[in-house]
Amino acid sequence: MSDVAPSRPVHVRTIRVEVAEAPDEQLDVTAILVDERPAGNPRWFGATPPRVIHDMRLGLRIRHRDLVITAVRSEMASHPYTICPEALPPLEQLVGLSISRGFTREVNERFGRQRGCAHLTALIHALAPAVRQGAGVAFADRPRGGAGLDEQWFVNSCQAWREEGPLHRLLRAGDEAGLRALSAFPPEPEPRGETD
């Protein structure tokens, strides 16, 4: 694209999701969405909005065993309309949902379009894969309850983990060597014995 004139950013969206291990085999999730206008905002209904148009935060407590949301907290530090925060109390409907199969559909049914804030809904969609990855890292050394639960975590989460695809077949067969062979990461070197 060297022959294209340089572009000037007019809208920048940043989403950050942090997953932390919490007591009682739970996870604390903090998700932040910030929309800013680097060049400033055009006047909107007679007012000039601030450079940061959206600054929204969502905190979740999630039970590791089944990825069920057990608590929610939310805030809007910056928003374009005084009525925007009315979208926060309905987020309590997240409590009891599992971030596994069907989560996106459930979120869309509860908060899609006029039932919620489009930006918070986008943030919820973005945090789900990060939660699944964070849960796998936080509790990697603990048993998760058998292959069935492994399948719940991975199968149909993406094309690589599609049902009856190569990774699913290897997982179901318990073939760790086969799974390692398909890894894009280099294998760790074998530990060397101690020398005298």
Say whether both 87 and 128 belong to one domain.
yes
Of the CA atoms within 13 Å of residue 114, those in its CB half-sphere come to: 0
Q: Report the C-alpha gap between 114 and 120 in whole angstroms.
A: 12
48 falls within a domain: yes
3 falls within a domain: no
190 falls within a domain: no
Say whether both 16 and 60 belong to one domain.
yes
Say whether both 91 and 178 belong to one domain.
no
192 falls within a domain: no
Burial class, 16, CB count within 10 angstroms (exposed 0-12 / middle 13-18 / buried 19+)? middle
For residue 146, the model assigns a pLDDT of: 45
193 falls within a domain: no
170 falls within a domain: yes
Q: Report the C-alpha gap between 134 and 117 in whole angstroms.
A: 25
25 falls within a domain: yes
Q: Report the C-alpha gap between 155 and 137 in whole angstroms.
A: 17
Residues of the chain with confidence (pLDDT) below 70: 1-2, 142-153, 193-196
Say whether both 119 and 149 belong to one domain.
no
Say whether both 45 and 132 belong to one domain.
yes
* Distance between start and end Cα atoms, the chain: 59
Q: Which domain holds residue 134?
A: 12-141
Q: Report the C-alpha gap between 24 and 63 in whole angstroms.
A: 8
Say whether both 22 and 62 belong to one domain.
yes
6 falls within a domain: no
Contact status, residue 45 vs residue 81, Cβ threshold 8 Å: no
Say whether both 100 and 173 belong to one domain.
no
pTM: 0.79
Say whether both 74 and 161 belong to one domain.
no
Q: How many folded domains does the chain comprise?
A: 2
**Which residues does residue 21 pair with via DSSP β-bridges, in sequence order?**
27
Say whether both 80 and 99 belong to one domain.
yes
Say whether both 61 and 148 belong to one domain.
no
**DSSP 8-state secondary structure symbol assigned to residue 94:** G
Say whether both 106 and 155 belong to one domain.
no
For residue 1, the model assigns a pLDDT of: 57
Say whether both 85 and 151 belong to one domain.
no
For residue 75, the model assigns a pLDDT of: 98
